[in-house]
Every structure is written in structure tokens, then in C-alpha cells.
Amino acid sequence: MSQRSHIDRMRAVLSCSALVLLLSFPGRANADPVIEWNATALRSAFAGGLDNLMFGCNDALHESRMMAMVHVAIHDALNAIDRRYQPYAFDGHAPGASPDAAVAAAAHDVLVATYPRMPVEIGLTPDAAISLVEAAYATALAAIPNGSAKSEGILIGQAAAAAIVALRAQDNAELPFIVDTYVPGPNPGDFQFIPGFGPVVAAPYWGQVTPFVLRSSSQYQPKAPYAVSSKKYAADFNEVKSLGDVNSTTRTQDQTEIAMFWVEGSPQGWNRIARTVAAEQGLDPWENARLFGLLNMASADAYIADFENKYFYEFWRPITAVRAADTDGNPDTIGDANWMSLMEIGPVPEYPSGHSGQGGAMSTVLARFFGDRISFSTTSTMQPGVTREFSSFSEAAVENGNSRIYVGFHFRHAVTEGIKLGTKVGTVAFNHYLRPVH
């Protein structure tokens, strides 16, 4: 099969119907401009093709970076109008500016600057995303009375956007995304090419992207994966082999629902939770700007740290491990040459679980901001009409992690270490950034 065929195969797997997802996406959640633009940015991700079946759902890596930049710009623009929290990239002063205009301009300018620079090789449609953003921007500005406050708001929003775009211009996010020069290791446990994708890997350089809140992508390194000859590995192996099989007879109906419910991209799912809770708690735009800034910087850095560690450890996926188990030297594992996970997984190493890291990072920010014991319900674009309820953010993070076992993507050790890694990232974000000035 040619390299072009491999890319075409990838595009076919990645191409969820953006139209179906857009129709199922919730509408205007709240009059708060920060919440409005959070939802708009994520709708644009559907329109632009970021939300496809990759890494369990989508190219959440570029999406997480984009969302962090959008919310940094929003935060800095609002705090130029009324300084309540420490700025991140832009230190301005515009006390008479319109907050609504500032938020709209900040979000708009980041989005239209970011989409054209995303990887085209995975079939993105940036023009569709930008068209959605332009329409939302026109609607937002039309609702604001003309005058100096509106004009100043637009200018301060544009300045905040320009600052974060300039700061991230050389952050390595444009390094090659789909790579065909990777050489797998020769030993049991070494990552191997994923069946159906050919000799390619995705995002091998994402660990080189400049973090938003961490000192470096290698600041936190999980312990090594279990040795494939160990009892602990065998226990994890047999769990995912049983529960993650596409034809599993042991996975319950609820576990299947959990697997599919959480398979959407983490920026989509956890931002939706944040919008719901923020609206219920009655936050004002400045509080929301801080919340979503911290949430999405933690999300972006959790992915950066995760991919640094994925390509450091280069551990094999369950689909490879189960099919090659007769070669792993472990008497407690039995191979199945035809084993398939509940859904296809993208071509990246297994350990640690990035999706679980997202749950750890974003739930930590939410718990530190609101307190952990907050009851909420949430929905998923992957299961329209299904609502799941939780009594804490940490409970949701655990279920999110378990979903990666039920869908057949990860061993439990990768899930638990992913959550730990994400928790550390979320703690750094909350403790050290966007702090109150009084």
C-alpha cells in the first residue's frame, strides 16, 4: 500500500460527520460572552474537522492548544478593562471598553489566525471553521451599540489576541504531524504500527511543543510501564482483552455506554461540563475567563506532557499486545490474532493515557475552582440523548479513565498514571497562573 493510501485510510477513519455533530451540539448556553465564545470555538472545531475519530475521537492536540490561546486572549482582554487577575500574555489598560466587544474580538482573532496553520494532511477544513467564526463574530458585534466603548473593546480584544498569537508563533506546534519515518522497536512491549494505518505514527513531536504552564514537557514523568513478563501486566492485559474487545461478552451495557460516551475529544467534553457548572454557579465574565483560561491551559499542557512520555516509553497498544501475546514471554497472557478493540485507535504509543490525563488535569482545575463535591449532569456528542450524572469532578475523571479500558485503547496502568500526570499539570496551572490581584 502506498503512503498516499495510508493517508487516505487515516482520513477515512478520522472523518466523523461534522454536520451530524453540529446538529447535536447544544445551542446558546448562556448570555455570558465567555461561555458563548467557548461554545462557538468548539463548534468551529467540528466545522473545521478537528473532531474526528483520532486518539479515540479527534485531533484534540491542536484543539486544546487553540482553546488555551482563545481563553488566554479573552482573559487578558477582560483584565485590561478591569484588572482582577494577573494577565498571561498581554498587559493592557482600557477601562472604558466594552467587555462583550473585547471578548468577541479576542476569540475571533485567535481563531482566524490559528486555523490556517493547522495540519492539512489529516483532512481539516479550516475555511468552514473560519466561516462559522466570522458569522458568530458579526452577530456578536451587531448586538453591541456603536460607540467608543465598542470600538475600544474591539481594539483591546485584538491586542490581546495578537499577543498570545505572537507568543505561540514558534512553539513547535507546526512540526510534522503524520510521520512515516518511525522505526518500531524489536521487542515485546515496543510500540508497533497500528493495523489498518500502515507504517505511520501521529504527533511524535507534540512533546516538543512549548507548554503554557509547565516548565517543560518532561517536568513530570510517570514510572515506566509494567514489564510484559510481570503479573501486574498480565492482570491489566487480561482486563482490557476481556472488556475492550469489540465482541466482548463480559463488558456490561453500562460499561459500553461509558466507553462510547467519553470517546469524544476531551476539550469538547470537559469544557461542556465547565460551561454547565459555571452557569449554575452564576459566575461573572471575569470569573469565567479565569476558569476557562486555567482549564484549557491545563488541557493543552496535559497533552504536551503526555505525548512527551508516550514517545519516551513507546509502549505497545492492546491491539498489538493481544495479537502478539504468544511472543511476550508471559505465561499468564494468551494471544488472539483476530482481537479488535471496540473502536479503532489512532497510530500513537499507549503509555500513559492522554485521555485520562485530560480528565486528571481538567477535573483538578474544576475541583480547585469550585470544590470537588459539585453535582452535575452532562451529555456527549457521541451519544445524543444520553445524560450521565456525577457527584464530583473526580468521580467523572475516574469514569473517563475507565472508559479507555472499556473501549479497548489502554491498559489500566496507563489510565491511573495518566490521571496522576494530569492532576499534577492541573495543580500547577491553578496554583501559579491567573492569580487574583487582591
Task: Give the pLDDT score at 40.
Answer: 98
Residues 6+ apart with CB under 8 A from 363: 270, 393, 394, 396, 397, 422, 423, 426
Q: How far apart are CA 427 and CA 438, in angstroms?
A: 21
CA distance 231 to 157: 56
pLDDT band at 57 (very low <50, low <70, confident <90, very high): very low
Position with higher pLDDT, 141 vs 122 = 141
The mean pLDDT value for 194-216 works out to 96
Q: Supply the pLDDT for residue 58.
A: 66
Q: Is the pLDDT of residue 246 over 50?
A: yes
Q: What is the DSSP string of 181-217?
A: -----SSTTB--PPTTT-S-EE-TTGGGSPPSSSS-T
pLDDT per residue over 285-327, tens digit each?
Answer: 999 999 999 999 999 999 999 999 999 999 999 999 999 999 9
pLDDT-derived band at 400 (thresholds 50, 70, 90) equals: very high
Q: How many residues does the chain have?
A: 438
Phi first, then psi: what are they for 387, rounded to 5°? -125, 135
Indicate whether 14 pLDDT > 80. Answer: no
As a whole number, mean pLDDT of residues 390-403 equals: 98
413 pLDDT above the threshold of 60: yes
Local confidence band at 438 (pLDDT 50, 70, 90 cut-offs)? confident
- Report the pLDDT averaged over residues 140-169: 98
* Per-residue confidence (pLDDT) for residue 9, from 0 to 100: 40
Q: What is the pLDDT averaged over residues 158-181?
A: 97
Instruction: Give the mean pLDDT of 357-372.
Output: 98
Query: What CATH architecture does domain 3-212+223-432 belong to?
Result: Orthogonal Bundle (1.10)
pLDDT band at 31 (very low <50, low <70, confident <90, very high): confident
pTM over 0.85: yes
pLDDT: is 288 or 122 the higher one?
288
- pLDDT-derived band of residue 4, with 50, 70 and 90 as boundaries? very low
CA distances from 35 to 67, 284, 285, 310 (A): 12, 10, 8, 33
φ, ψ for residue 63, nearest 5 deg: -65, -45
The tens digit of pLDDT for each residue in 254-292 reads 999 999 999 999 999 999 999 999 999 999 999 999 999
Q: In this model, does residue 13 exceed pLDDT 80?
A: no
User: 163 pLDDT exceeds 70?
Assistant: yes
Rounded to 5 degrees, φ, ψ at 328 are -85, -5
| Residues pairing with 377 in the sheet | 389
